[in-house]
């Protein structure tokens, strides 16, 4: 990197040049040391997000790619309701529902040996304690999430008729109500209504057997009911080679598939693989369906 070029916030970035990085400067609130959290910089972190969101919405940028942040530092810095990037972006963009989806690239993971097919896992609920997942999962939420997922797979990934596998909430997908009634009372009726709209939805399937080659070989995405139901499998298969994607914002946003790793700060030992994938996916999504600057 030969030169960092500060820009005025209202200006469009210049054409890319080797060795030059144009930036929109955002001032730190407190001096910063690598690997040391400072809640005094919470407002700085959120301002960087606000600058990127505004640039995407008014057409100065085609996509935003975020690095991991430490939720605790934001909360301790005066934002007790902060739960993560995904929810913050939803509120800032003024949309009712967004979907958190992690995706590997076709080169980093295959559903079946010899078949270059990416694995995409979306979540019906996001950053919630496990004790609150069941109460958060209702027909309205599941309907909104599934519609957003299907629409974005078509618009942003070019999949004309996406085939989505849907997991159950309970062990063995509830086993006919003996291990929980969410499948019978919520998931199955919702999927039936959405199938009547033309969506191709398979499930609810038991989560412990859903992630097998037999099911994944023809799937475009998996919809898991909660965070730690779907993401451990994806991260085991492609950790460091996946991107976190927020669907339904009206802008393109991707991120890495890992946390802050403060112990590696300043060491030069951090793996940049996931950041590279996040940048590549953002470029692909923005090129396929450029952000509507009127949003």
**Is residue 175's pLDDT more than 60?**
yes
205 pLDDT band, cuts 50/70/90, is very high
pLDDT of residue 257: 86
> Taking residues 41-45, what's their average pLDDT?
97
What residues contact residue 171 under an 8 Å CB cut-off, 6+ apart? Answer: 179, 180, 206, 208
**Is residue 129's pLDDT more than 60?**
yes
Tens of pLDDT along 69-105?
999 999 999 999 998 898 999 999 999 889 999 998 7
Q: Name residue 22's beta-bridge partners.
A: 5
163-167 sheet: strands from edge to edge: 64-66, 253-255, 242-247, 99-104, 120-123, 221-224, 163-167, 200-205
pLDDT of residue 123: 97
Q: What is the mean pLDDT of the chain?
A: 90
Residue 217 · residue 114 · CB < 8 Å: no
Domains annotated on the chain, with CATH: 96-248 (3.40.718.10)
The DSSP-derived string for 24-84 is -----SS---TT---GGGHHHHHHHHHHHHHHHHTTS-S-EEE----HHHHHHTT-TT---
1 pLDDT band, cuts 50/70/90, is low
Q: How far apart are the first and last CA of the chain?
A: 34
Query: Per mean pLDDT, which range of 45-59, 103-117, 256-270 is the poorest?
Result: 103-117
CA 288 to chain centre: 18
pLDDT of residue 121: 96
290 pLDDT band, cuts 50/70/90, is low
pLDDT of residue 106: 59
**Is residue 110's pLDDT more than 50?**
no
pLDDT of residue 293: 38
**Is residue 120's pLDDT more than 60?**
yes
> Taking residues 6-19, what's their average pLDDT?
79
pLDDT of residue 294: 32
Q: Which one, of 11, 12, 78, lies nearest residue 46 by Cα?
A: 78
168 pLDDT band, cuts 50/70/90, is very high
**Is residue 2's pLDDT more than 90?**
no
Q: With pLDDT > 70 as the criterion, what percentage of the chain qualifies?
A: 93
Tens of pLDDT along 140-153?
999 999 999 999 99
Region for residue 132 given its phi and psi (left: phi exceeds 0; alpha: psi -120 to 50; beta: otherwise): alpha
Q: Where is pLDDT greater, at 113 or 94?
A: 94
> Taking residues 117-137, what's their average pLDDT?
93
Q: What is the DSSP letter of 119?
A: -
6 pLDDT band, cuts 50/70/90, is confident
User: Coil, strand or helix: which one is 94?
Assistant: coil
Q: Where is pLDDT greater, at 248 or 261?
A: 248
Tens of pLDDT along 176-191?
999 999 999 999 999 9
**Is residue 137's pLDDT more than 50?**
yes
Q: How many other CB atoms are there within 10 angstroms of residue 59's CB atom?
A: 14
């Amino acid at each position: 990197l030969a030169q960092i070029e500060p820009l005025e916030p209202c200006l469009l970035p210049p054409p890319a040049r080797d060795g030059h990085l144009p930036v929109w400067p955002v001032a730190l609130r407190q001096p910063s040391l690598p690997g040391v959290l400072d809640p005094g910089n919470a407002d700085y972190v959120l301002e960087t997000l606000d600058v990127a969101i505004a640039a995407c919405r008014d057409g100065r940028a085609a996509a935003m790619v975020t690095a991991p942040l430490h939720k605790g530092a934001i909360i301790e810095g005066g934002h007790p309701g902060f739960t993560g990037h995904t929810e913050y972006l939803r509120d800032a963009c003024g949309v009712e529902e967004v979907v958190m989806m992690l995706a590997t690239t076709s080169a980093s993971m295959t559903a079946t040996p010899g078949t270059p097919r990416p694995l995409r896992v979306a979540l019906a609920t996001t950053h919630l304690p496990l004790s609150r997942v069941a109460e958060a999962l209702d027909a309205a939420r599941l309907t909104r999430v599934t519609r957003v997922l299907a629409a974005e797979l078509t618009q942003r990934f070019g999949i004309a008729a996406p085939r989505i596998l849907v997991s159950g909430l309970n062990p063995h997908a509830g086993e006919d109500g003996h291990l929980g009634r969410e499948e019978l009372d919520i998931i199955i009726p919702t999927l039936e209504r959405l199938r009547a709209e033309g969506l191709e939805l398979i499930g609810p399937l038991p989560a412990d057997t859903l992630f097998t080659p037999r099911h994944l070989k023809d799937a475009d995405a998996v919809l898991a009911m909660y965070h730690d139901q779907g993401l451990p499998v994806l991260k085991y298969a492609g950790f460091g080679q996946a991107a976190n994607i927020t669907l339904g914002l009206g802008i393109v946003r991707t991120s890495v598939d890992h946390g802050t790793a403060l112990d590696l700060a300043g060491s030069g030992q951090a793996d940049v693989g996931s950041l590279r994938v996040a940048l590549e996916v953002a470029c692909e999504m923005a090129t396929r369906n450029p952000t509507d600057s009127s949003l």
